[in-house]
Structure 1
Amino acid sequence: MPRYFFETLEGRRVGRDVEGLELPDDVAAKRTAWASLSDLVADRAETSDGPLAVKVTDAEGRLVYEVAATGGLNVSAELPSFQQRDASARRH
């Protein structure tokens, strides 16, 4: 079974997944990303300090899926939150 890694973004804090999960396919990885985002949103219901996002990569580091929520719970599967963070980190 393929292994997927789930990186989380909570405001400016990034959580790296070093173990990953074995899942049957990309669809299962997408479902897991949505479930993870839902948990992040529920945990942060009282405080909305920036975007929340989950990025899924495969064992080779290729992006499989990304889903994010911003203030007011705008949700998108195409928000560039990780790309913005990565670009910002390169500038500093």
Structure 2
Amino acid sequence: MPRYFFDSYDGDRFIPDHEGLELRDIAAAEREARKALPDMAKDALPDGDPQTFIISVRNEAGQVVLRAALSLVVENLPEFPSAER
């Protein structure tokens, strides 16, 4: 089975994957990347600034074969007018 490497970037840190995972195909690698993105966002919730989390998937030859990104924006909205009159 081919080995895929999942490098991550959270806007501040780049973390290369030196071990990788043996997976059946690129579709399985895509599923793994999709599963990892929400965990990255949960672990590094921004302080109000937009943030994009990226996973780049490399094959055994070191070529990036897939890139997945998740953008997280937190906005403070003005209070809604009171329904009471």
TM-score (norm 2): 0.75
Gap regions ≥5 residues in structure 2? 75-85
Are the aligned partners of 1:48 and 1:71 in contact in 2 as well (CA < 8 Å)? Answer: no
Are the aligned partners of 2:6 and 2:56 in contact in 1 as well (CA < 8 Å)? Answer: yes
- Superposition deviation, residue 22 in structure 1: 0.3
1:19 is paired with a residue whose SS is coil
CA distance 1:20–1:72, shift in 2 (3 Å): same
Aligned residue pair count:
73
Counterparts of 2:34 and 2:57, CA distance in 1: 10
CA distance 1:12–1:22, shift in 2 (3 Å): same
Residue 53 (1) aligns with residue 59 (2): no
Which has the larger displacement, 20-29 or 37-46?
37-46
Structural RMSD (CA): 1.9
Counterparts of 2:25 and 2:47, CA distance in 1: 34
CA distance 1:48–1:4, shift in 2 (3 Å): farther
TM-score (norm 1): 0.70
Which has the larger displacement, 44-53 or 20-29?
44-53
Q: Which structure ranks higher in relative contact order (CA pairs < 8 Å, sequence separation ≥ 6)?
A: 2
- Structure with the higher helix share, 1 or 2: 1
- Superposition deviation, residue 47 in structure 1: 4.0
Q: Which residue of 2 aligns with 1:82?
A: none
Q: How does 1:64-75 map to 2 (within 5 A)?
A: 64-72=65-73
- Superposition deviation, residue 2 in structure 1: 0.2
- Superposition deviation, residue 3 in structure 1: 0.1
Q: Who wins on radius of gyration, i.e. which is larger? A: 2
